Structure 1
Amino acid sequence: MTDKIKMLFISANPSSSGLPLLRLDKEFREISNVVDTGRPSDCIKLLVPRFAARLKDFIDALLIDRPQIIHFCGHGNRHGIVLEDDLGKSVTVDMKALADLLSCLDWDIRLIFLNSCYTQNQAELLRALSDYTIGTDQAIPDNQAITFATSFYKAFANGLSAKASMKMASTLVGMEEEYTNMSLAMLVKDGIDPNEPFVKQVKRLSLAPRPNQSKANKPVGRKIEPKRKTDKIKQWADELTRAVEDGYKLSKKKGRD
């Protein structure tokens, strides 16, 4: 048995921004595939994705879904991430304001992954609000960003630590000849050990076997015969049936019979 870690995938790709269109649907599909096949299975619950997200959609997703992992993909700049307005135009969300917003949440954020360009300074602002925060100080190609995120979550969902997952993702991206060197950095909150597995197994509690009771320590009390218990259950069932048929409600009784 594992505790499910809820993951929010939020993205925006404003068509009127003049910025290149990104394969955000592909990124979601690839991440979804590796999360669903992670070991232990069902350890991360991928929530309903928020595409073409406005700031309102982001806030609603936070308050309603209460995710522990926030993955943003799309465009970014040195001032913040780019979302959409009601008309599909680009809106830059100031990271200082977003940090103030996230500081109001009353649950723990385990990971914030800003998979967009120039998010290093933004990750620094969010560092104290999440166990791990990932960003970059440069522009990153779309395919490279997808490969890195997919590799990272594949390692993550299979029980590797955050540090090992970052190393594996960086190594796999570096093995692709078409990609140039990229610099995605992970910031760690004070007091968090990046070498600990992100997904931990939670053992199911088991009751200790009941000790054999001798005649000397048998509990004192009236023994309930099986037939009597059956008769009592049948009596309650009959009363309920009659009450429904007569259109009356059973009167409430205090205590147990």
Structure 2
Amino acid sequence: MKKILILLANPQEKNTPPLELDRELHQVEQALERTINHQSFEITIRWAARVEDLRRELLHSKPQIVHFSGHGSGNYGLILETESRQKQFVSSEALAGLFELCKDYVECVLLNACYSEEQAIAIHRHIDYVIGMNQAILDTAAIQFAIGFYDALAAGRSYEDAYRLGCNAIALEGIKNSAGESEALTPVLKKRRWIVNEKTVLEKTSLPEFVETDKLKPQPEVKSSLPQSITISGGTISGQVGQAGGNLSQTQQIYHSQAEKQLNVIEVVELISQIETLVKQSTIPEERKSKAIAHLAAVKEAATEEEPDKDYAAKSLQKATKFLKESSATIESAKKLWQQITSILTQLLPWLGVAPNFFGL
């Protein structure tokens, strides 16, 4: 039996638009009732979810699936509620830290909230499947995604299939945003890459044993670097054809460099520290400087984990360098800073597994 924890938050403030959370929950319950065995899922629901509810239910319910429905605010985090039903912002790093402590049983996290991709990236450092939204999402689209997602789980499909069917549910309804783009492109999946152990013997009554690619026995040296995680969104799918949300795809930038020496973690951290020092000594505005330093700290943290999350490191470094590149366009002294940082970024490309244009080089 899989346990699902559903957290619903909609602070009662004048500037916070109401959400149809009751309708979404009703649709989720209806979808799960369609399972052949109605005992396949156990649902725990927390309305007006507070930080305490999130922590306590993760610890005591030990859910395999965590579903949050409510508001997101990008860099500021997800929005839960206080005792008086006011906004309570929860940062990406705080969420990542909590899920790290629950990674032994949480399998999938669905953040059905606007601008929640940043939180999805952070949580994905510890959880294999995390879904977030890369921009604002209409209430109707969020509900359709939930319907498709849980219809798939009720039918015994995988988390990845559930994501695709969620996107497809939006596409089938023809829901578009104010720019005329399909809302099916808004949900994004952060997925860990797994392969089957070659020694595994498949039996009818058991699942194959899975191991992460970097835990296999030593392999011959490879002259390219691949990111450890996959982000699925709009674009072109690599290696297989998928149909969800019209143009569902798997985007994976691979940077090949046979001439470059592959960096180790210590060398990566040293290079990030060099960027950090240059930023601290620069004369760019303090606000941009502090934001860049915060993102650089996230890069080092991701790089020094037991299993470095290069996808998260690359995204954080991209955000840090965005502030620096913008400064170089308007501040004369920042131009030299950007030139110095560019040479360091070039050295990091093979380890991160991204192409130069990822940083606008």
Same fold (TM over 0.5): yes
Provide, for residues 220-255 of structure 1, a one-character-per-residue CA deviation record: whole Å limited to 9, x for no partner: xxxxxxxxxxxxxxxxxxxxxxxxxxxxxxxxxxxx
Cα distance change of structure 1 residues 64 and 17 upon mapping to structure 2, 3 Å threshold = farther
Secondary structure at the aligned position of 2:124 is classed as helix
How do 1:141-220 residues align onto structure 2 when only pairs under 5 Å count? 141-180=138-177, 181-182=182-183, 183-191=186-194
Secondary structure at the aligned position of 2:130 is classed as strand
How do 1:42-61 residues align onto structure 2 when only pairs under 5 Å count? 42-47=39-44, 49-61=45-57
Q: Partner residue of 2:32?
A: 35
Percentage of identical aligned residues: 31
Is the helix fraction higher in 1 or 2? 2
Q: Return the letter of the residue paired with 1:19.
A: T
Provide, for residues 180-232 of structure 1, a one-character-per-residue CA deviation record: whole Å limited to 9, x for no partner: 41221111124278xxxxxxx968xxxxxxxxxxxxxxxxxxxxxxxxxxxxx
1:81 aligns with 2:78: yes
Q: Partner residue of 1:66?
A: 62
Contact 1:40/1:159 (<8 A) preserved: no
CA distance in 2, matches of 1:202, 1:9: 30
Structure 1 position 41, deviation (Å)? 3.6
Contact 2:73/2:116 (<8 A) preserved: yes
Unaligned runs of 5+ in 1: 194-200, 204-257
CA distance in 2, matches of 1:139, 1:107: 31
Secondary structure at the aligned position of 1:174 is classed as helix
Contact 1:131/1:192 (<8 A) preserved: no
Cα distance change of structure 1 residues 191 and 174 upon mapping to structure 2, 3 Å threshold = same
Q: Return the letter of the residue paired with 1:77.
A: S
Unaligned runs of 5+ in 2: 197-203, 207-361
CA distance in 2, matches of 1:154, 1:91: 31
Q: Partner residue of 1:104?
A: 101
1:8 aligns with 2:24: no
Structure 1 position 146, deviation (Å)? 0.6
CA distance in 2, matches of 1:106, 1:139: 28
Q: Partner residue of 1:235?
A: none
Provide, for residues 91-138 of structure 1, a one-character-per-residue CA deviation record: whole Å limited to 9, x for no partner: 111110111122122632111000000011111111132221000110
Cα distance change of structure 1 residues 174 and 85 upon mapping to structure 2, 3 Å threshold = same
Greater relative CO (CA pairs within 8 A, separation 6+): 1
Larger radius of gyration: 1
Aligned residues: CA RMSD: 1.9
TM-score normalised by structure 2 residue count? 0.50
Q: Return the letter of the residue paired with 1:186.
A: L
Contact 1:9/1:70 (<8 A) preserved: yes
CA distance in 2, matches of 1:138, 1:106: 26
Structure 1 position 177, deviation (Å)? 3.2
